[in-house]
Amino acid sequence: MQRIRQEGDPILILYGYWRSGCTWRVRMALELKGLPYEYRPINLLKGEDCTPEYKAINPAGLVPTLLDGKHTLSESLAILEYLEEKYPGPVSLLPRRFEDRAEVRRLALHIVSGIQPLQNLNMLEKIEALGGTQARGQWGKTVVADGFAALETMLKQTAGKYSFGDEVTLADLCLVPQVYSAGRFGVSMEPYPIINAIHSRLAELEVLKPAHPDAMPDAVKQ
Ligand SMILES: N[C@@H](CCC(=O)N[C@@H](CS)C(=O)NCC(=O)O)C(=O)O
């Protein structure tokens, strides 16, 4: 959200793409922590992530990248952890007990490293090159469904109102875009009632609404 910067506010610049789930995770953290930021769109469909100018700030050629003063940060989960440590209030994204924090990180990592990379644009383009459009769609659907089956089982042990207990944690910030992505692949949410219920509660939170892809200046109307 493009709030007007107040004297003393940190200067945060977020490079991202409206539909990038990894960028969305960071946008939600910034909203929850009430941190104003400047959003700089990088059009993935036009290859703007692969230009020498962008690769100079993020050699992986992926979004998001967050600039915080002289610090350049990438990898969304590392960014979430950084924001949590540097700006611990007013809302904390991790529980107090270290054992609980490990549980939250486990859930987040399951999505961040176990589901999303398998259905990233880059990966989908490679699958399409090998097997065509149908294979691309089927691949995306299968990897998300398999990942959600495991996540649903994990959440039976940890979920309250949200993924871990009754407070929003960084696991939830990973879950929201993954459910959106599931919708794009046509994955039915019926086999995953816990994921679905958590997602519905998170979707109702006013504080997260400005971070939604449709609210972004680079959003393309469907
Ligand atoms: N592990 C990275 C993944 C970043 C990533 O995959 N970003 C996607 C958008 S969500 C991207 O930039 N894709 C561009 C491409 O595949 O060419 C993170 O969590 O930040």
* Minimum CA distance residue for ligand 1 atom 14: 62
| Any ligand 1 atom below 6 A from CB of 76 | yes
* Minimum CA distance residue for ligand 1 atom 9: 20
Q: Which of 170, 220, 180 is nearest to 203 (CA)?
A: 180
pLDDT tens figures, 10-65 = 789 999 999 999 999 999 999 999 999 999 999 999 999 999 999 999 999 999 99
pLDDT tens figures, 129-182 = 999 999 999 999 999 999 999 999 999 999 999 999 999 999 999 999 999 999
| Any ligand 1 atom below 6 A from CB of 169 | no
CB 32 within 8 A of CB 25: no
Distance 62 CA to ligand 1 centre (A): 5
Atom of ligand 1 nearest to the CA of 74: 20
Domains of the chain in start order, with CATH, are 13-92 (3.40.30.10), 98-208 (1.20.1050.10)
Q: How far apart are CA 23 and CA 142, in angstroms?
A: 23
| Any ligand 1 atom below 6 A from CB of 48 | no
Atom of ligand 1 nearest to the CA of 47: 17
CB 26 within 8 A of CB 72: no
